[in-house]
Amino acid sequence: MIEKTILIEDLVRELPQSVTYLMERGIRCLRCGEPVWGTLESAAKEKGLSDSRIEKFVEDLNALKQ
C-alpha cells in the first residue's frame, strides 16, 4: 500500500506509471532528470498542495496499483 510517506524513488520503482501521474500534477520525478530525494508528501508540499490533495494523490496511486 502506498502512503504519503513513501520515498519518491521507491514509489517510482514500485509503480512506474506513477511517473506520468506525478508529472501531470507538477511533482518532479525521475524522468525529469533531476535527483529526487524525499517523500511524496514533501514533494507535494513543495508545490504548495494541501493535505487533502495529497491524500487524493495517495488514493489515486493506490488505485493505479490494482
Q: What's the pLDDT tens digit per position in 25-63?
A: 888 665 555 555 789 999 899 889 999 999 999 999 999
Identify the burial level of 64 via C-beta atoms within 10 angstroms of its C-beta, where 0-12 means exposed, 13-18 middle and 19 or more buried: middle
Determine the structural domain holding residue 59 and report its residue range.
Answer: 8-65
Total-model pTM: 0.83
Domain-located, residue 32: yes
Domain-located, residue 1: no
For residue 34, the one-letter residue type is E
**Total domains, the chain:** 1
Domain-located, residue 57: yes
Domain-located, residue 3: no
User: Other C-beta atoms within 10 Å of 34: how many?
Assistant: 9
- Collect all residues with Cβ–Cβ distance below 8 Å to 6 and sequence separation of at least 6: 14, 39, 40
Domain-located, residue 45: yes
